[in-house]
Amino acid sequence: MRVEWLNYHHLLYFWMVAKEGSIVRAGEALSLASSTISGQIHRLEEDLGEKLFAHEGRRLVLTESGRVAFRYADEIFSLGREFVDTVKGRASGRPLRLVVGSADVLPALLVRRFLEPAFRLGQSVHVVCRAEKSVEEFLAELALHRVDVVLSDGPSPSGGAVRAFSHLLGECGTTFFAAPKLAARVRKAFPRSLDGAPFLLPGSPSAVHRALRQWFGALDVRPHIVAEFDDSALAKEFGAFGLGVFQAPSVIEAEVLRQYNVRVLGRSEAVLQRFYAISVERKIKHPAVIAISEAARKDIFAGA
């Protein structure tokens, strides 16, 4: 039987280029000439029979095979470091790192509840939560392994440039809120009373924006849209100020009432909100992401 051996030096050079983002920076980190690293990566590609990098302008990007190779290389060299530490009788001392891309349309109250289980793993965890990008931008970061998971109110777009897997965290209905004075006027005959009422609509990138538009059409009501907010926290602030009716996922209803001193107008199961953890893995492996997913299904959305 022919045994195929992997040259781990070649794999190391590939891994460093993928991490550093360029052959020049990898060469500086390894104290090697760029031509040496480039040649060794070509040898690795020849041995594997697959291209691991492609050029986009001046940038090097991982191919599909390259993304697979990077995941394995990451595990191989992480295990190698742990092996040396264990043999030499010292702990690695490195906290588990979790980089989360959170779509800015997600309520901060819900993101907090999603991430809480990551801090209860029984080991040191360093969470980096980024929310300054759109889901599409985060998917590109996911493909480059700059984030571990993306939290979103919709699944990864089918047919996109990035091959990603959407893991449903849960679903729930929608609760509608308003400041006390406005609530006293609009609460009666809800949801018909929304016709002509001032309303703070989520921004168009969000899935609930489309769901609300469809629901209004089905009810034949036309709220007066006074503002649209991509940032759901801003919508709540203006809603608490009395500017208009706003919505939130029903699973955080109690938290919204406590934090913003508003009143519930009513609820709708027809405006269904779904939330996803998006990863490049068909089966989630990161311990913190596993904890987040399990807690969401068993605790946050259990009664929804």
pLDDT at 189: 93
Please tell me the predicted confidence (pLDDT) of residue 86: 55
pLDDT at 161: 65
- Asked whether residue 291 falls in the same domain as residue 147, the answer is yes
* Same-domain pairing of 149 and 60: no
Task: Report the pLDDT value the prediction gives residue 92, as an integer from 0 to 100.
Answer: 54
Instruction: Determine the pLDDT at residue 3.
Output: 47
pLDDT score for 205? 80
Question: Residues 233, 179: one domain?
Answer: yes
Which structural domain, as residue segments, surrounds residue 118? Answer: 96-169+275-300
Q: Are residues 52 and 118 in the same domain?
A: no
Q: Is residue 82 part of a domain?
A: yes
Please count the CA atoms within 13 angstroms of the CA of 42 that sit on its side-chain side: 6
Considering the domain architecture, whether residues 248 and 116 belong to the same structural domain is answered as no
Per-residue burial over 107-138, b = 16 or more CB atoms within 10 Å of its CB, e = otherwise: bbbbbebbbebbeeeeeebeeebebebebeeb
Same domain, 148 and 287: yes
Residues 6+ apart with CB under 8 A from 64: 163
Tokens coding 117: 């289980």
Beta strands in the chain (DSSP E): 53-56, 59-62, 96-102, 125-130, 149-152, 165-178, 198-202, 224-229, 246-249, 263-279
Is residue 1 a part of any domain in this protein? no
Whether residues 279 and 140 share a domain: the answer is yes
Cα distances (Å, whole numbers) of residue 221 to 214, 215, 225, 229: 10, 9, 12, 21
CATH number for the domain spanning 57: value is: 1.10.10.10
* Residue 2 in domain: no
Note the pLDDT of residue 81: 74
Residues 235, 264: one domain? Answer: yes
Q: Strand, coil or helix: what is 67? A: helix
Please name the amino acid found at residue 151.
L
The verdict on 151 and 127 lying in the same domain is yes
Q: Are residues 202 and 268 part of one domain?
A: yes
Q: Are residues 74 and 101 in the same domain?
A: no
- Which residue stretches of the chain have pLDDT < 70? 1-4, 82, 84-94, 159-161
Residue 3 forms part of a structural domain: no
DSSP state of 155: P
280 found inside a domain: yes
156 in the same domain as 117: yes
> What is the domain count for the chain?
3
CATH number at residue 284: 3.40.190.10
